[in-house]
């Protein structure tokens, strides 16, 4: 089966991997060619110029995007990324993964993603605020609590969401809390949202260890990326008794063979902006982190971190995809042949969108849930999805990713079939 999309890039680009995953699921599910084309293409894409008046009064223009891959099951949902690597194909891939993720954990959402091709570290806070507000106003016609609900991703955070919510609200003349998730608590953010993706990562890591008959206290782990996802994943794994030996960020990596003191490392990162130089550990080459002899490797940074050229060096028994698309299709094949258990992104990092959904529900109800309620409902959803994926794998074989994709694609297609094709 071949897939027709507006653009199918070659090699290991995220979109090539996303389309290959869809092709493989479609083949297993024997989906007709027309339906596959429907799922391979985004429902709506918008590309916008984002001009910025800099603090020194010069003007720069950035490219911004919002892609709504699918909204057949409900409003589109997905993060906003501020990174120099952002381009339309990357956003398309990330939007498609959001569709499968939301379907897999059974949220009434479709998938979307957005981004601006900017390196936020090179601009002042006031400049980033102006970029955020202008980007929001450019995509205003396609977002909204029942249309498309943005959230934080790489390079954005709760402050970015506050500016997006404020821009949307001011332009409508009243406060609309449910237009974004991942907001500050003071503006209707949910308790437990900030750690939700990582909590989900930790939950499925412990489930995967259990499946392999390894107790947490007998396990070692390495975490690539120490941002919103990686930092709390490392902390929660350490709390569960796992020995977190090494972590990295874009500046370098650190290792402590007997386990890092993750709490102290977090303090170090808050003070210095990087894991590098942490006094309780030795420096490590960031690429060597991927090759460590550990039970669990959590890539929680960028797409394509584990690829055809470095996969032979991977020694971990379990890989838990904290990031979106960190293992390329070519690497996936090698890992599957070696019996490495790869917990796929659409399952492993779904905790963030699950609690985003809870935040949206709370905003719509104007009623706040307790942290206990949020965390126990998150746990239920994650473990239900884990059980569904492992049962599907037992039933029809393949990798966990293939099983997860079959469930997700089938659910989205089922919604399409029930709605019918207009006109």
How many whole angstroms separate alpha carbon 231 and alpha carbon 163? 24
Using the contact rule CB under 6 A, the part of the chain among 53-61, 146-154, 202-210, 254-262 near ligand NAD is 146-154
Segment 216 to 255, residues that bind ligand NAD, using CB under 6 A: 224-230, 248-250
Q: Does 301 bind ligand NAD (CB under 6 A)?
A: yes
Q: Which residue has the tokens 């910025």?
A: 52
Active site amino acids? 113
How many whole angstroms separate alpha carbon 120 and alpha carbon 332? 32
Q: Does 82 bind ligand NAD (CB under 6 A)?
A: no
Segment 184 to 203, residues that bind ligand NAD, using CB under 6 A: 197
Nearer of residues 38 and 308 to ligand NAD, judged by Cβ: 308
Nearer of residues 251 and 397 to ligand NAD, judged by Cβ: 251
Q: Which residue has the tokens 């890992």?
A: 335
Count of C-beta atoms within a 10 Å radius of residue 330: 17
State which of residues 329, 349, 362, 399 lies at the interface with ligand NAD (CB under 6 A).
349
Nearer of residues 267 and 414 to ligand NAD, judged by Cβ: 267
Using the contact rule CB under 6 A, the part of the chain among 203-211, 214-222, 295-303, 408-416 near ligand NAD is 295-303
| CA 175 distance to own-chain centroid | 27
> CA-CA distances (angstroms) from residue 380 to 33, 166, 210, 354?
35, 33, 17, 11
Q: Does 298 bind ligand NAD (CB under 6 A)?
A: no
State which of residues 191, 254, 323, 354 lies at the interface with ligand NAD (CB under 6 A).
323
194 with 158: CB under 8 angstroms? yes
Task: Please report how close the Cβ of residue 117 comes to ligand NAD at its closest, in angstroms.
Answer: 15
Task: Please report how close the Cβ of residue 136 comes to ligand NAD at its closest, in angstroms.
Answer: 19
Task: Please report how close the Cβ of residue 44 comes to ligand NAD at its closest, in angstroms.
Answer: 20
3-state secondary structure of 369: coil
How many whole angstroms separate alpha carbon 27 and alpha carbon 25? 5
Number of residues that bind ligand NAD (CB under 6 A): 24
Nearer of residues 300 and 378 to ligand NAD, judged by Cβ: 300
Nearer of residues 182 and 188 to ligand NAD, judged by Cβ: 182
Nearer of residues 75 and 322 to ligand NAD, judged by Cβ: 322
114 with 36: CB under 8 angstroms? no
State which of residues 140, 142, 240, 302 lies at the interface with ligand NAD (CB under 6 A).
302
Backbone region of residue 150 per phi and psi (left: phi > 0; alpha: psi in -120 to 50; beta: other values)? beta
How many whole angstroms separate alpha carbon 176 and alpha carbon 165? 7
344 with 321: CB under 8 angstroms? yes
Task: Please report how close the Cβ of residue 153 comes to ligand NAD at its closest, in angstroms.
Answer: 5
State which of residues 352, 385, 386, 400 lies at the interface with ligand NAD (CB under 6 A).
352
147-185: burial string, b at 16+ Cβ within 10 Å, e else? ebbbbbbbbbbbebbbbbbbbbeeeeeeebbbbbbbbee
Nearer of residues 98 and 317 to ligand NAD, judged by Cβ: 98
How many whole angstroms separate alpha carbon 242 and alpha carbon 251? 25
State which of residues 78, 110, 152, 344 lies at the interface with ligand NAD (CB under 6 A).
152
Q: Which residue is nearest to ligand NAD, using beta carbons?
A: 227
Q: Which residues bind ligand NAD (CB under 6 A)?
A: 152-155, 197, 224-230, 248-250, 286, 300-302, 322-324, 349, 352
């Amino acid at each position: 089966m071949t897939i027709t999309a507006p653009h199918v890039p070659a090699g290991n680009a995220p979109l090539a991997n996303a389309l290959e995953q869809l092709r493989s699921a479609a083949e297993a599910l024997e989906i007709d060619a027309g339906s596959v084309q429907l799922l391979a293409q985004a429902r709506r894409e918008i590309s916008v110029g984002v001009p910025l008046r800099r603090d020194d009064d010069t003007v720069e223009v950035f490219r911004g995007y919002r892609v709504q891959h699918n909204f057949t099951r409900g409003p589109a949902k997905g993060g906003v990324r501020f990174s120099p690597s952002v381009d339309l194909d990357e956003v398309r891939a990330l939007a498609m993964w959001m569709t499968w993720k939301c379907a897999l954990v059974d949220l009434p959402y479709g998938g979307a993603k957005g981004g601006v091709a900017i390196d936020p570290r090179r601009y002042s806070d006031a400049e980033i605020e102006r970029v955020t507000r202008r980007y929001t106003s450019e995509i205003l016609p396609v977002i909204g609590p029942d249309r498309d609900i943005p959230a934080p991703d790489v390079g954005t955070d709760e402050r970015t969401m506050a500016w997006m919510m404020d821009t949307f609200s001011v332009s409508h003349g009243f406060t609309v809390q449910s237009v974004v998730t991942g907001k500050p608590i003071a503006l209707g953010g949910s308790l437990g949202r900030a750690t939700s993706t990582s909590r989900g990562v930790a939950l499925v890591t412990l489930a995967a260890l259990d499946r392999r008959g390894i107790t947490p206290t007998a396990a070692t782990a390495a975490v690539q990326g120490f941002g919103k996802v990686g930092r709390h994943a490392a902390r929660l794994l350490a709390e569960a008794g796992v020995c977190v030996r090494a972590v990295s960020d874009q500046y370098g990596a650190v290792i402590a063979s007997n386990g890092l003191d993750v709490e102290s490392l977090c303090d170090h990162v808050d003070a210095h902006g990087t894991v590098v130089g942490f006094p309780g550990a030795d420096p490590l080459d960031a690429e060597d982190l991927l090759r460590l002899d550990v039970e669990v490797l959590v890539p929680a940074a960028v797409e394509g971190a584990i690829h055809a050229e470095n996969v032979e060096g991977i020694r971990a028994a379990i890989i838990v995809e904290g990031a979106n698309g960190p293992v390329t299709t070519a690497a996936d094949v090698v890992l599957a042949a070696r019996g490495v258990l790869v917990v796929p992104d659409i399952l492993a990092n779904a905790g963030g969108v699950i609690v985003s959904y809870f935040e949206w529900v709370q905003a719509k109800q104007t009623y706040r849930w307790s942290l206990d309620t949020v965390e126990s409902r998150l746990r239920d959803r994650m473990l239900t999805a884990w059980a569904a994926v492992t049962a599907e794998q037992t039933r029809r074989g393949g990798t966990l990713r293939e099983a997860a994709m079959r469930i997700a694609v089938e659910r989205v297609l089922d919604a399409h079939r029930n709605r019918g094709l207009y006109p």
